[in-house]
Structure formats: C-alpha cells, structure tokens
Amino acid sequence: MLKEIKPGRKYFVINIDEPYAEHIYEILKAGQIAKGEWPEGDINFEEWKRITFNKPIKEGEILWNF
C-alpha cells in the first residue's frame, strides 16, 4: 500500500531487503486489514513487492509504504 506523507506525523522507513522486512510487512498488513484499509487483499510479501515495486520509479522519487 502506498500512502502520501502527511505533515505533523512521524514515520519510520525500512529496507525491504532486510531479513526482518517480511515480518514487519505481515504486522502492517494485519493492522491495515483490521482497519479495512488494505486494498491489495490477502497477498504474501513477495506478491506485494512485485505489485508495489514493479513500476517505473523516477530518479529521486521516494515510495512510502505503510
């Protein structure tokens, strides 16, 4: 899920290549599903990476995933 950065909020960023990234993904997905805000459906980490990052990224662009 891609979201816009909102002023006044605090965020943290992780590298999705780290060994703990899949665990964090599962926690975030469960929280978003509980709030009814996970449009991707029940997909696994590898599917999510393909969907989210299989698009052209402009130089200097930052993708924020929450």
Q: What are the tens digits of pLDDT across the range 11-61? A: 878 888 899 999 999 998 999 889 988 888 888 998 888 888 776 656 656
Q: What are the residue ranges spanned by the domains of the chain?
A: 1-53+61-66
> Per residue in 31-64, is it b (16+ CB within 10 Å) or e — as a string?
ebeeeeebeeeeeeeeebbeeeeeeeeeeeeeee
Check residue 64 and give its pLDDT: 57
Estimate to the nearest angstrom the gap between the alpha carbon of 17 and the chain centroid.
13
Tell me the pTM.
Answer: 0.68
> How far is Cα 63 from Cα 53, in angstroms, rounded to an integer?
9
Rounded to a whole number of angstroms, the CA Rg of the chain reads 12
